[in-house]
Amino acid sequence: MTAMIDIRDLRVTFGRGADAVAAVDGVTLSVRGGESFGLVGESGSGKSTVLRAVSGLNDEWTGRIEVAGAEQGTKRPKGFFKQCQMVFQDPYGSLHPRHTVDRILAEPIAIHAMGDADARIDRVLRDVGLGPAFRFRYPHQLSGGQRQRVAIARALVLEPRVLLLDEPTSALDVSVQAEILNLLRRLRAEHGLTLVLVTHNLAVVANLCDRLAVMNRGRLVEEMTVEELRRETAREPYTRQLLRASQGYDRAVAESFRDYA
């Protein structure tokens, strides 16, 4: 399989002079088409900054970013967003509070002049496990999990090949987290999606990903498969420390997620 996302020597610096912070300090990684890839590390290690550069949300980067075979500049053409969509942590903040679900989903369809809005909205709502009754509700009438389903539907309605997920379950209750992870797993299989997931929770990565990279202070310190993570064969002391410290990588939690498969 060829790379769906290819990042070479990515650097992102915030601030200038003595205050400059190298949030991402020379990251190189490659994600294959159809693969689910986790980016993990402590808070502040630069995970979200990598994702934001790939998504086009941050245009202050240097290096090389290729998505679906196309080299990306700092400004993204409209067509890029049909290929690559992002889902955020907070489904409360990411949906317009005064727009109905229908309007939230109709907007990207209109921007990309895709047509068939009615049928597309119905289909994508069903796809994320929400019936047509949800179409005319407002975000405040939905639970956290339902809102995150709407946010996923909004990303999916353009039929992208890549979903970038920034802590997609960490704002949700534990039982709802498992539902959303199961949904993402199913959508990935049904649509052949490539997923890149940023999280501090190794159980989420163990549940959803094939492979992961560990970040520390803006650098990628280790890459491994989820199999290796399970066997705890991390080589780098930092990764081992993260494994130990992570309230996330707890076998019981990882296994409990499996039960929902």
Where along the sequence are the contacts to ligand ATP (CB under 6 A)? 14, 21, 23, 41, 43-49, 200
> Contact at 8 Å (CB) between 120 and 136?
no
Dihedral sign, Cα of residue 138, residue 142, residue 148, residue 152: negative
Smallest distance, ligand ATP to C-beta of residue 48, A? 3
Nearer to ligand ATP, 147 or 200 (CB): 200
Smallest distance, ligand ATP to C-beta of residue 99, A? 26
State the DSSP H helix or E strand holding residue 88, giving kind and residue range, or none if neither.
none
**DSSP label of 139:** G
Amino acid at 66: E
> Contact at 8 Å (CB) between 83 and 161?
yes
Smallest distance, ligand ATP to C-beta of residue 212, A? 14
Amino acid at 114: M
Nearer to ligand ATP, 193 or 214 (CB): 214
Amino acid at 175: S
Nearer to ligand ATP, 2 or 43 (CB): 43
Cβ–Cβ contacts within 10 Å for residue 76, how many?
17
Distance in angstroms (rounded) separating the CA atoms of residues 158 and 95: 17
Smallest distance, ligand ATP to C-beta of residue 201, A? 10
Nearer to ligand ATP, 39 or 128 (CB): 39
Smallest distance, ligand ATP to C-beta of residue 82, A? 26
Q: Are strands 61-67 and 3-14 parallel, antiparallel or unpaired?
A: antiparallel
Smallest distance, ligand ATP to C-beta of residue 206, A? 18
3-state secondary structure at position 74: coil
Smallest distance, ligand ATP to C-beta of residue 4, A? 21
Q: Which residues pair with 222 in a beta bridge?
A: 214
Nearer to ligand ATP, 5 or 23 (CB): 23
> Contact at 8 Å (CB) between 148 and 115?
no
Nearer to ligand ATP, 60 or 255 (CB): 60
Nearer to ligand ATP, 22 or 114 (CB): 22
For residue 195, the number of C-alpha atoms closer than 13 Å in the C-beta half-sphere is 32
